[in-house]
Amino acid sequence: MPTAKQETIPAATAPAGAPRVIEVVAGVIRDRRGRILLARRTEGRDLAGLWEFPGGKHEAGETAEAALKRELREELGIAVEPGDRVIRVPQAYPHKRLCLDVYDIRAWTGTVRGLEGQALAWVPPHKLADYPMPPADVPVVAALTQPDCYLVTPEPGGEEDATWLASLERALAAGIRRVHLRAPACERGRWRTLAGQAVAVCREAGAQVLVNADAELAQALGTGLHLRASQLRTLAERPLPRDLPVAASCHTLEELRLAQALGCGWAVVGAIKPTASHPDAMPLGWATFAAMRESVALPIYAIGGLTPDDIAEARRHGAQGVAAIRGLWPAA
């Protein structure tokens, strides 16, 4: 992963007439119990009352590392050693555009104090989402608490079901913890049985499961639901209860906005690179991905010709990580 020592990267291509992008750097500071420090934005400032990761704007000519060290000394009275990047989130607000570049703090010394009158809270990672935060922080919290790989299953096709299930088990053994069960070409009866077996295998491994498109099958199996982009236009409300995840595949900003309005937990956007399944499709590329991500506050996986080797690049453009069929399915 890149570190804060690296130079600032230019933001996504700005739409014509868009305001200049403000570079903001923030740190994930942990205590010995693994809790993460949040600070509350004080009255009279933009986004007052919301909780944030401590940090602030770059001063002219400053690197991310220098800005982070200065901000955390001024705001909290601590000396920090920045580590790996968590995620860099391009985000548009109604009156400004910023890039929130978030780094893990590898080590720190001193006593944490709110030197600017800000309230502070040490928060266990699983409780971060309970704190009201600015839109740019939604992908940050997801990056800290949710899987960076989202496996999309390949069609079983002519393969034996047992062989396909054994491959799924190998993917889970390799660390996959979020699975999209997808086989639109599979005969329905066969798929219902195979999907049921796959859900059992995923649960055994502690992985979260979503089935593709079929809300009835998701309800029957008690899984989440991954919507096709076309379904976003037909649904008036979230098709599952709140405790079950709903996600969506999106190709346009309009679809991303529909996914957000519907209450999807995350989206998948691509194709970033050319893929074997869509060799003639024009790839989106990372800059367009980042420009799309700027306008919603959703965690977004990048898809299309990607593997785990692309996770750092994905995070650098504001993605939660990578979604893939071939890139995450073990070789036979």
Ligand X SMILES: Nc1nc2c([nH]c(=O)n2[C@H]2C[C@H](O)[C@@H](COP(=O)(O)OP(=O)(O)OP(=O)(O)O)O2)c(=O)[nH]1
Closer residue to ligand X in complex, CB, 123/325: 123
Query: Which pair of structure tokens corresponds to residue 196?
Result: 């049921």
Burial of 228-248, coded b for 16+ CB within 10 Å and e otherwise, reads ebebbeeeeebbbeeebbbbb
Closer residue to ligand X in complex, CB, 244/297: 297
Selection from 89, 69, 55, 71 nearest residue 5 by Cα: 69
Selection from 85, 77, 79 nearest residue 28 by Cα: 85
Window of 51-59, 124-132, 262-270, 320-328 that interacts with ligand X by CB under 6 A = 51-59
Query: Which pair of structure tokens corresponds to residue 277?
Result: 């399944």
Window of 45-53, 150-158, 250-258, 317-325 that interacts with ligand X by CB under 6 A = 45-53
How many residues in the chain? 332
Check residue 127 for interaction with ligand X (CB under 6 A): no
Among 57, 113, 203, 278, binds ligand X (CB under 6 A): 57
DSSP H helices in the chain: 64-76, 137-145, 161-173, 188-204, 215-221, 229-232, 253-262, 286-293, 311-316
Check residue 23 for interaction with ligand X (CB under 6 A): no
**What distance in Å separates the CA atoms of residue 312 and residue 229, rounded to the nearest whole number?**
26
Taking the complex as a whole, the smallest distance from the CB of residue 23 to ligand X amounts, in Å, to 9
Residue of this chain nearest to ligand X (CB atom): 56
Taking the complex as a whole, the smallest distance from the CB of residue 65 to ligand X amounts, in Å, to 15
Among 37, 55, 72, 90, binds ligand X (CB under 6 A): 55
Give the binding-site size for ligand X (rule: CB under 6 A): 15
Which residues in this chain contact ligand X in the complex, by CB under 6 A? 24, 26, 45-47, 52-53, 55-57, 98, 100, 134, 136-137
